[in-house]
């Protein structure tokens, strides 16, 4: 049986061009980028070329890119690094209830260190109100951390407006851009962000590599200690094959972003419209308008999401109930709860996230599999 992948927000397959880069690097560029001999310099060149490629994708300068092991480390470096570097006697940080655990957990850690944390509520649209940020700001606010795109709903936040509000009050803005990068255009200058987190495996590069954009002049306290790599911002020998792959994926994304977005939005709408028209007791969670082109979060009343994931997997389709990093958790999604869904409806929700390998034929086959799975699961729940 063929299996089709509709879980691209969890991770993406490595693009063929990117795979080529990894393999050539692993085989030929084995020097340490800190070594001054020929082999070290070859590695350094690949590292710096990738830095320029990632910078170009977000309209930054190469010196503002810090390579990390992924989005989680980039979020930690941004949130802990900036807040701890602040000399203020009292510190306050603002975030929101639908953030990824990679943001909420470091915020909690800062709370344990005596920093005051405000976690903003979010309405049913899944979009944070800039006015709520304005109201939450205090003289001691050092950082506002709001994601660019939500991993479960796909909703996009009004980042440029939030940056203006934060800066007016003298606070910095960190944005977790892990789900947005490669799916929508990102221009850190136009957005006005101070810190922007990125991850390679969400845009067809391997796992284990990410980056943090840190605007020139932004002070970060270290969260790990060691050598002087990455301009003293992140110690450790750089993962050159992973970083080179991330660079190749960034260049590919820059080329394909408009074409991908248009095609995936059409496929997503085809899926959603068919489900909403043909299956009663269904709907879209969060805003249908301000969101990523590839993401759809739907509820199927009277159905257990985990059972639905298994039913679709048995029919050859990979989907998810929400964030991959919290799967295995029996409690309903914190994101869906935060936008006002009941436990029951949150547990009856599914995320479909499309990518480059998906076709209209696959979407049509998925629609039929959803119809069959829903009919089956609703039938057995009535008899249970």
Asked if 171 and 141 count as a contact pair (C-beta separation under 8 A), the reply is yes
Q: What is the 3-state secondary structure (H, E, C) of 195-218?
A: EEEEEHHHCCCCCCCEEEEECCCC
* 350 and 297 Cβ atoms separated by less than 8 Å: yes
Which is it for strands 195-199 and 172-176: parallel, antiparallel or unpaired? parallel
Looking at the chain, how many residues does it have?
384
Whether the Cβ atoms of residue 33 and residue 179 lie closer than 8 Å to each other? no
Gap between the terminal Cα atoms of the chain: 30
Q: Is the separation of the CB atoms in 179 and 199 below 8 Å?
A: no
Q: Is 119 a catalytic residue?
A: no
Q: Which residues fall within 8 angstroms of residue 4, CB to CB, at 6 or more apart?
A: 316, 317, 318, 358, 362, 365, 366
Q: Are 99 and 224 in contact (CB under 8 A)?
A: no
**Which pairs count as long-range contacts for 355-361, CB under 8 Å and 24+ apart, including other chains?**
355/5, 355/8, 355/12, 355/13, 355/264, 355/294, 356/12, 356/15, 356/204, 356/256, 356/260, 357/5, 357/13, 358/4, 358/5, 358/6, 358/264, 358/267, 359/267, 360/267, 360/270
In the set 25, 96, 119, 325, the catalytic residue is: 325
State how far the Cα of 111 lies from the Cα of 69, in Å rounded to an integer.
25
Q: Which string of DSSP letters, residue by residue, matches 328-363?
A: T--SPPHHHHHTT--HHHHHTEEEEE--TT--HHHH
Residues 61 and 149: their CA atoms lie apart, in Å, by 23
Q: Just list the catalytic residues.
A: 325
């Amino acid at each position: 049986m063929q299996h089709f992948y509709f879980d691209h927000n969890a991770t993406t397959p490595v693009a063929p061009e990117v795979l080529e880069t990894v393999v050539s690097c692993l085989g030929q560029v084995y020097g340490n980028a800190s070594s001054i001999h020929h082999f070290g310099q070859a590695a350094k060149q690949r590292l710096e070329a990738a830095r320029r490629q990632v910078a170009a994708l977000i309209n930054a300068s190469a010196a503002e890119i810090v390579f990390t092991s992924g989005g989680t480390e980039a979020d930690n470096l941004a949130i802990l690094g900036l807040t701890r570097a602040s000399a203020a006697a009292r510190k306050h940080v603002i975030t929101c209830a639908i953030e990824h655990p990679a943001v909420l957990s470091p915020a909690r850690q800062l709370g344990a260190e005596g920093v005051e944390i405000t976690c903003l509520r979010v309405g049913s649209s899944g979009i944070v109100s800039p006015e709520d940020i304005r109201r939450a700001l205090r003289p001691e606010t050092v950082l506002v951390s709001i994601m660019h795109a939500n991993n479960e709903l796909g909703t996009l936040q009004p980042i440029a407006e939030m940056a203006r509000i934060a800066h007016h009050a003298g606070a910095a803005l960190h944005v977790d851009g892990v789900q947005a990068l490669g799916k929508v255009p990102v221009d850190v200058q136009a957005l006005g962000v101070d810190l922007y987190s990125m991850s390679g495996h969400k845009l067809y590069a391997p796992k284990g590599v990410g980056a943090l954009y840190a605007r020139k002049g932004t002070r970060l306290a270290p969260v790990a200690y060691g050598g002087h790599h990455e301009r003293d911002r992140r110690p450790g020998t750089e993962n050159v094959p992973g970083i080179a792959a991330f660079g190749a994926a960034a260049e590919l994304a820059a080329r394909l972003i408009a074409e991908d977005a248009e095609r995936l939005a059409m496929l997503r709408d085809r899926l959603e419209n068919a489900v909403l028209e043909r299956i009663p007791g269904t709907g879209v969670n969060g805003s249908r308008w301000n969101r990523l082109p590839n993401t759809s979060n739907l509820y199927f009343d009277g159905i257990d999401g985990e059972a639905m994931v298994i039913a679709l997997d048995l029919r050859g389709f990979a989907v998810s109930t929400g964030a991959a990093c919290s799967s295995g958790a029996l409690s309903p999604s914190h994101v869906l709860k935060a936008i006002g869904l009941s436990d029951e409806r949150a547990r009856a929700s599914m995320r479909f996230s499309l990518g480059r390998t998906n076709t209209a034929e696959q979407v049509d086959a998925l629609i039929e599999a959803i119809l069959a799975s829903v009919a089956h699961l609703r039938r057995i729940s009535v008899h249970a």
